Amino acid sequence: MPVTFPEHFNMSDYFLYHNLDEGRNEKICLYFEDSKWTYGEVASLSNKTGNVLRDFGLDVEERILIVLPDCPEFVWTWFGAARIGAVITMVNPMLPASDYQYYLDYTRARVAVVHHSIAETFAEAVKDSRYLRAVLVVGGTAQRQADSLSYKWANFDEWVNSASDQCRRADTRRDDIAIWLFTSGSTGHPKGAVHLQHDLPYNTEVFAKATMGVNASDLTVSVPKLFFGYATGTNLLFPFAVGGATALFAERSTPEKMFEVIKRYRPTILTTVPTMINSMLNVDNASADDVKSLRFCYSAGEALPIELYERWTKTFGVEICDGIGSAEMFHIYITNRPGDIKPGSLGRIVEGYEAKIVDGDGTEVGVGEMGTLKIKGDSAALCYWQAHEKSKETFAGDWCTSGDQFHVDRDGYYWYHGRTDDMLKVSGIYVAPAEIENCLLQHTAVLECAVVGHEVDGLTKPKAFVVPREGYAANEELAEEIKLFVKTRIAAYKYPRWIEFIESIPKNDRGKTDRKKLKRM
């Protein structure tokens, strides 16, 4: 049965305020450090924040820039902005001033909500802003107001504490613009994928509820942070949509921190990424007792190597549901699911979406043949902001071109081969870095690895960056041993011609391997 939403529709009702109508006013839904909040309290604080944003001139369809760590104020700001019909944009709170300047110029945000720890950096970015009306600082003290500035600095907490907890909901429609989700910026500056009021709820219905079975008894915890749409969904919107709960922490995600948070809050669902899965497995004496509250884990961002999946399930006894989503579609549309996992694959299509794999001419390929994935579903973005030609290329008709290389097997499971931009043409044949990386990880000396193309005399060959395990000497003898290991397990032409040992694999702010940086090394 198709999923539909009424003409007059505001996603804040769908995700938060329906819980009040359903009698959950007193149910605890949010944990942070030693504090906790009920749905009634979250709704009240979101209303207060919405009123403050209105007081500072934020109107329907105008952008707000949220630059916060994972903290309760992020929650009130997100729902308060949604309630008044503003367009939400969210970015990493650990960027340099030049990046904030780019986002401010790009979004033309009227209001920014920032954490006090980055206020000085942010002040440098906004000093020449032409569009900004206010910067609200969470915690600490707001910057001193200069007479020459056209916008105000204000203390978020003071304004919210004194605001009314009754907030008029904007009369938005299901097809009004609601949020921009930024791409990972793998090829230049991140682009804003423009989403409508119904997009995020649609994916929540078909993926979170119908496919993954998220329910009111679930409590979620996440490795990625809320500014990343993957975590916005799994660690805030999905649990709130079903009357569940979430636990947030502002600190950087480390394996030690994740075990601490899991022990403290006893979550039932963990959102994670392959790099953290690997890191948690390498913590001494980690065991199933450390994660026994979990019923399953999400993994996305990069394909999960079979070797890591098997080590995780053997060590912890918890299923990892690897899947793929994108900013363009909001969230996951192909996934493994609890009780239905084919290790190494990204699972089956989520009912409510359609997929096809095409060649360079746009012709659909056969079962088992590799090509570019195209996806169709009612959470697709309207366009990329200020990128008309790229929008036409990606959002052609009802189909969104993913830029990912896949094949589908006879049972309907999708297998990932890498980003189209990352594919290597070796000896005239396309090679997926993920295949080589999966093989490298099976060597006992390899802790982490990444493969990129390296060009010599006009020819591209694979180059591997390897983080060796403790106790292994990073020398030429080990490099040759690893090369031979790969040669004997996959086609010989795919082996890495060069192996460079490094202390750690660089990651971007989504926790993915930063291949751009590796190519410059």
- Report pLDDT digits (tens) over 254-287: 999 999 999 999 999 999 998 899 889 989 888 9
Domain that holds residue 277: 251-419
Segments in 127-251 forming alpha helices (H): 156-162, 199-203, 229-232, 238-241
- From residue 82, alpha-carbon distances to 12, 51, 79, 387 in Å are 6, 12, 5, 25
Has residue 432 been placed in a domain? yes
Q: Are residues 286 and 373 in the same domain?
A: yes
Helix (H, G, I), strand (E, B) or coil at 136: strand
Q: Which two tokens stand for residue 401?
A: 């071109």
Residue 176 resides in a domain: yes
On whether both 383 and 451 belong to a single domain, the answer is: no
Q: How far apart are CA 518 and CA 505, in angstroms?
A: 8
Same domain flag for 154 and 27 = yes
Residues 407 and 456 in one domain: no
Which own/partner contact pairs does 12-16 have at CB distance under 8 Å and 24+ positions apart?
A: 12/46, 12/79, 12/82, 12/83, 12/169, 13/169, 14/201, 14/204, 14/241, 15/79, 15/82, 15/200, 15/201, 15/204, 15/237, 15/240, 15/241, 16/42, 16/43, 16/46, 16/79, 16/240
- In the predicted model, residues of the chain with pLDDT beneath 70 are 1, 141-150, 185-188, 425, 427-430, 457-459
Instruction: Count other Cβ atoms within 10 Å, centred on residue 56.
Output: 18
- Whole-model pTM? 0.86
Whether residue 133 sits in one domain with residue 275:
no
Cα separation, 235 vs 222, in Å, equals 6
Q: Are 322 and 334 in contact (CB under 8 A)?
A: no
Residue 231 lies in a domain: no
**Among 155, 182, 209, which residue terminates a domain?**
182
CB-based burial, 116-152: b 16+ in 10 Å, e otherwise: bbbbebbbebbeebebbbbbbbbeeebbeeeeebebb
Residue 118: per-residue pLDDT:
93
Task: Please say whether the beta carbons of 197 and 175 come within 8 A.
Answer: yes
* 431 and 413 fall within a common domain: no
| CB-CB contact of 211 with 244 (8 Å) | no
Angle at 318 (CA atoms; ends 280, 244), nearest 5 degrees? 100
Does 195 map to a domain?
A: no
pLDDT of residue 150: 59
The residue out of 182, 199, 216 marking a domain boundary is: 182
